[in-house]
Chains A and B, each alone.
Chain A
Amino acid sequence: MKPWPLSLIALSLILATPIFVVLSSVFFSAGDIWTHLFETVLARYISNSFALMTGVSIGVLALGVLPAWLVTAYRFPGSKVFEWALLLPLAIPAYIIAYTYTGMLDVAGPLQSNLRDAFGWSYGEYWFPEIRSIGGAIAMLSLVFYPYVYLLARAAFAGQSASVMEAARSLGCSQRSAFFRVALPLARPAIVVGLSICLMETLADYGTVQYFGISTFTTGIYRTWNGLGSTVGAAQLAALLLGFVFILVSIESWSRKQAQFFNTGSNAWPSPAVPLVGGRLFIAYLVCGIPVSLGFVVPLIQLSIWASITSDSIMTADFAGYLFNSLALAAITSAAALILALFIAYGRRLYPTQLSSVAARVLSLGYALPGTVVAIGVLVPFAWLDNQVSAFMVARFDFNTGLLLSGTAFILVFAYLVRFLPIAMNTVDAGLTKIRPSMDEAGRSMGLGPMTILRRLHMPIMRGSLATALLLVFVDVLKELPATLLLRPFNFNTLAIRTYELANEERLADAAGPALTIVLASLIPVILLSRSLERATNVPSVGEKPR
């Protein structure tokens, strides 16, 4: 076998060890845990998880696809602002948005309290939606996850060449029917990728559902471990989850294969935007404004109010350290993820084998695993390796190396990669598959090596996808909590940990300061990304001149 596919498979195996650790649990006995789960709670875990996934699917599609179309196909005052503002909810961790909305809308929150005072009602005499419910959880998760769908849908719409839309219009399509009959079907693979990212995030979410008291598969894993005290049972539940996600991922990649579209290259610049006026303009503002205000502005205001109450205790001397740690981890991980994702995606393009595509699919499972499960899956092999090395060194040189990797930032970054590489892989892959294979052939016929083709042909074309991958991983690492908690070195804090510790003590107002900082720190890459996307969409294909 050639070195590239070989190293591809070796890399996949290393990164997939945590997944194998989880899967290996099926060879152990969990006692009568399964009988107990079947008889009591398993049906509820499954049905709640399904309800959550169905609801979030509808939510993210509704919030993500239409605005993406509006900001690419139409021109209206503020459309440029919406273009990047629609990404902002990405910066808010799911459990933080849950805490903020609960603080506002809960039975004891200011809104309901004021209603009761104003109208002299008491509890039970009026109807108000229960925020801590499945519906509430769906709303919260949809509000922070829809940007994945938006981002990918927008990139797909923007990348659709003008000639396709012109052809549609010359055949009598209006802008709207061109959307349903041409643009949407063409963008479907990208939208499905975005949707599958959202669903995996939903499955991995613990903070929100736990706070809302909704028993899902993920809370079940924790309960089986912490409550029933069964490590094996918990790992087996996680393995079952993985099996389910594997099916999901397979469906996703199958659906992408059914609809493979290449840019024709020769006309690959965006179609001109149509100006919007009147009632349609109003609707456009609603469609684009609702996701941004509910997903970002409202929680931001609530967090700011809380943070202003507790500002004295926020800016402690350690705060700069938390910020630095968070940013450093995010920067290192996102760069590493980008390089690995390029390596894997391009390797699969060069050497498309059944094995490498299965390997990629296995790797993508990490994204759906709860962070704690990933963390333990990472710690098991690394601690074992460390202890083997240590035992060997003691026996051979009478010198104990101790734990070389466990408890260092290295395994933290490794765990992040297990968790977030899939998202970079998906994004890079989506960008790469859009480049038609004849481009590679042309490059090769000119005597260029594969690395040169990647660097000089592919990377400039897919700059938008690369920037997207970088940003998504960066922001995800900033928000990441469970793996950081479990694997971090001594005396090492991040903003997410700080936020969580305070929120976990039910001191939401105190948690607002670090939470706000996560949001602000994420804004920088979000804005950078939108700028680079803007430029990327204006870059014509290689060898072409703009009209």
Chain B
Amino acid sequence: MGIKKIFAYVLSVTVFMVGIVSAAEVNVYSARSEDLIKSALDRFSEETGIEVNLITESADALIRRIELEGFNSPADVLLTVDAGRLFRAKEAGILAPIDSSILRERIPAAYRDPENQWFGLSLRSRVIMFDKSRVSPSEIESYEDLADPKWKGEICIRSSGNIYNQSLLASLIEHVGEEATEAWAVGLVANMARRPQGGDRDQIRAAVAGQCKLAIANTYYLAGMLNSDIAADVEVAEQIGVLWPNQGDRGAHMNVSGAGMIKTSKNPDEARQLIEFLSADYAQQWYAQVNNEYSVRTDIPVSATLQRFGEFKADSLNLEALGRNNAAAVRLADRAGWQ
């Protein structure tokens, strides 16, 4: 067989294979783990007949992968679990705006990019949790209070390497400025019950075990423990109260999980449809059921578990600020000795 023949053969096989996979599909690069997105994507395929292909990995790695894959990247949609990474993807120039009146109407302005390059899809708040047997909710009001020396040795919080802590710092930088935030971080480090370690649930458990009185965690972790199959987790979670910070002023710090369309997408129409689907009724209720998150929309009822945490005032800061201030937040944490 001559070289030309082999080449023609390979080419035709390739064309054939490309032909198979190019039936309506959308390729998703997701920082949301498979368990927390797959069944919604399956539902999308059922409703629309569009096949969804999925890769999960941390957002930074996915952004890098898309950058390196360049024009030929198969990625159509990027899903992340925080606004800072969506901002970073936008900065990297890998996102394209979506002109969708559906998305603009459904999602409040604070939770989407001003230039329509990314859209928040589910909401979570990072709050102060307390051991109900030892703390009364009247003792603390705001994130700023966490630096008050009266809490010396009583605060459990995980590493500043964690994106949710970085976002909290970034929001403080936006509201009170970098200098005040650094002073706050120094105060917080002085009040820590232990060197930062473990995940959010570990902070909650440590508070109930008596190592600290206050734990900083995202709302869905506590809700997940309340709904757990493991009796010990439920028992721990029952002893924890949720304090919504800064209700007298700006409101509790919010973050989103969200999505953006990739600039080089070969399936922009399917990509838009998928993001719109994730903002529609079914998916919004699904976010609440599967991972105890709040809907970005105001017309979707809150899940029964989340209702136990009560109503609250949310910070209306545009989440773009979280991404913009992220690097400054990490530097500040390094200087403050927050490991």
A and B: bona fide binding partners: yes
Q: Which residue of B lies closest to A372 (CB)?
A: B61
CA distance A380 to B65 in the complex (A): 9
Main secondary structure of the interface of B (DSSP, over half): helix
Instruction: Encode B32-71 as 1/0 by CB contact (under 8 A) with A.
Output: 0111100000000000000001111110110011001111
CB atoms of B229 and A309 under 8 A apart: yes
Restricting to A477-499, which residues have a CB under 8 Å from any CB of B? 485-486, 488-493, 497
A132: which B residues are within 8 A, CB to CB?
197-198
CB atoms of B65 and A486 under 8 A apart: yes
The residue from A223, A386, A399 contacting B72, defined by CB atoms under 8 A apart: A386
CB atoms of A407 and B11 under 8 A apart: no
Interface residue? A532 (CB, 8 A): no
Instruction: Give the number of A-B contacts (CB < 8 Å).
Output: 155
CA distance A509 to B55 in the complex (A): 24
Interface residue? A210 (CB, 8 A): yes
Restricting to A377-392, which residues have a CB under 8 Å from any CB of B? 379-380, 383-384, 386-387, 390
CB distance from B68 to the nearest CB of A (A): 4
Q: Which residue of A lies closest to B233 (CB)?
A: A509
Interface residue? B148 (CB, 8 A): no
Instruction: Encode A396-416 as 1/0 by CB contact (under 8 A) with B.
Output: 000111110011000000000
B11: which A residues are within 8 A, CB to CB?
399
B339: which A residues are within 8 A, CB to CB?
44, 213, 215
B54: which A residues are within 8 A, CB to CB?
490-491
Q: Which residue of B lies closest to A407 (CB)?
A: B74
A492: which B residues are within 8 A, CB to CB?
55
CB atoms of B27 and A490 under 8 A apart: yes
Interface residue? A164 (CB, 8 A): no
CB distance from A418 to the nearest CB of B (A): 16
CA distance A71 to B138 in the complex (A): 64
Q: Which of B97-105, B110-118, B200-208, B271-279 contacts A (4 or more CB under 8 A)?
A: B200-208
A213-B158, A213-B339 as given contacts; A107 in contact with B53, CB under 8 Å = no
Q: Which residue of A lies closest to B69 (CB)?
A: A383
Q: How large is the interface on B (under 10, 10 to 19, 20 to 34, 35 or more residues)?
A: 35 or more
Q: Which residue of B lies closest to A505 (CB)?
A: B33
CB atoms of B331 and A36 under 8 A apart: yes
CB atoms of B197 and A486 under 8 A apart: no
Q: Which residue of A lies closest to B330 (CB)?
A: A227
CB atoms of B74 and A210 under 8 A apart: no
Instruction: Encode A203-238 as 1/0 by CB contact (under 8 A) with B.
Output: 000000011110100010011011111110000000
Interface residue? B14 (CB, 8 A): yes
B18: which A residues are within 8 A, CB to CB?
402
Instruction: Encode B300-339 as 1/0 by CB contact (under 8 A) with A.
Output: 0000000000000000000000000011001100110001
Most buried by A among B36, B55, B69, B72: B72
CA distance A213 to B189 in the complex (A): 14
CB atoms of B88 and A229 under 8 A apart: yes
Interface residue? A506 (CB, 8 A): yes
CB distance from A339 to the nearest CB of B (A): 26
CB atoms of B70 and A108 under 8 A apart: no
CB atoms of A488 and B55 under 8 A apart: yes
The residue from A107, A223, A506 contacting B211, defined by CB atoms under 8 A apart: A107
A210-B161, A501-B33 as given contacts; A113 in contact with B69, CB under 8 Å = no
Q: Which residue of B lies closest to A306 (CB)?
A: B230
CB atoms of A213 and B198 under 8 A apart: yes
A122-B210, A383-B70 as given contacts; A493 in contact with B34, CB under 8 Å = yes
A229: which B residues are within 8 A, CB to CB?
88, 326-327
CB atoms of A227 and B161 under 8 A apart: yes
Interface residue? B289 (CB, 8 A): no
CA distance A294 to B326 in the complex (A): 41
A123-B209, A215-B339, A387-B70 as given contacts; A506 in contact with B331, CB under 8 Å = no
CB atoms of B221 and A485 under 8 A apart: no
Q: Which residue of B lies closest to A509 (CB)?
A: B230
Restricting to B61-101, which residues have a CB under 8 Å from any CB of A? 61, 64-65, 68-74, 88
CA distance A178 to B230 in the complex (A): 55
Q: Which residue of A lies closest to B163 (CB)?
A: A226
B15: which A residues are within 8 A, CB to CB?
399
The residue from B65, B211, B326 contacting A123, defined by CB atoms under 8 A apart: B211
A271: which B residues are within 8 A, CB to CB?
none
CB atoms of A112 and B209 under 8 A apart: yes
Interface residue? B159 (CB, 8 A): yes
CB atoms of A108 and B209 under 8 A apart: yes
A505: which B residues are within 8 A, CB to CB?
33, 35-36
CB atoms of B197 and A40 under 8 A apart: no
CB atoms of A222 and B55 under 8 A apart: no
CB atoms of A501 and B55 under 8 A apart: no
Interface residue? B195 (CB, 8 A): yes
Most buried by B among A213, A227, A310, A386: A227
A212: which B residues are within 8 A, CB to CB?
197
CA distance A488 to B30 in the complex (A): 13
Interface residue? B177 (CB, 8 A): no
Instruction: Encode B117-128 as 1/0 by CB contact (under 8 A) with A.
Output: 000000000000
CB distance from A474 to the nearest CB of B (A): 24
Interface residue? A376 (CB, 8 A): yes
B14: which A residues are within 8 A, CB to CB?
401
B326: which A residues are within 8 A, CB to CB?
227, 229
CB atoms of A407 and B206 under 8 A apart: no
CB atoms of A222 and B229 under 8 A apart: no
Instruction: Encode B1-30 as 1/0 by CB contact (under 8 A) with A.
Output: 000000000010011001000000001000
CB atoms of A501 and B35 under 8 A apart: yes
CB distance from A157 to the nearest CB of B (A): 40
A379: which B residues are within 8 A, CB to CB?
64-65, 68-69
Interface residue? B236 (CB, 8 A): yes
CB atoms of A219 and B327 under 8 A apart: no
CA distance A107 to B205 in the complex (A): 8
CB atoms of A40 and B199 under 8 A apart: no
Interface residue? B166 (CB, 8 A): yes
CB atoms of B197 and A491 under 8 A apart: no
CA distance A219 to B159 in the complex (A): 11
Restricting to A497-514, which residues have a CB under 8 Å from any CB of B? 497, 501-502, 504-507, 509
CA distance A215 to B57 in the complex (A): 22
A543: which B residues are within 8 A, CB to CB?
none
CA distance A225 to B221 in the complex (A): 26
A383: which B residues are within 8 A, CB to CB?
68-70
The residue from A40, A211, A485 contacting B334, defined by CB atoms under 8 A apart: A40
With A485-B58, A491-B53, A501-B35 given, can you name 19 additional A-B contacts, CB distance below 8 Å?
A: A40-B334, A41-B334, A106-B202, A107-B211, A108-B211, A112-B209, A123-B210, A210-B159, A211-B197, A213-B159, A213-B197, A227-B160, A228-B331, A229-B326, A229-B327, A403-B69, A490-B53, A491-B55, A509-B229
Q: Can you name 14 A-B residue pairings with CB atoms under 8 Å?
A: A41-B334, A102-B198, A110-B232, A211-B198, A211-B199, A230-B327, A231-B64, A376-B68, A383-B70, A399-B15, A400-B72, A402-B72, A485-B58, A488-B55
A-B pairs with lowest CB-CB distance, top 8 = A213-B197, A108-B205, A123-B210, A227-B330, A490-B53, A40-B334, A108-B209, A501-B33
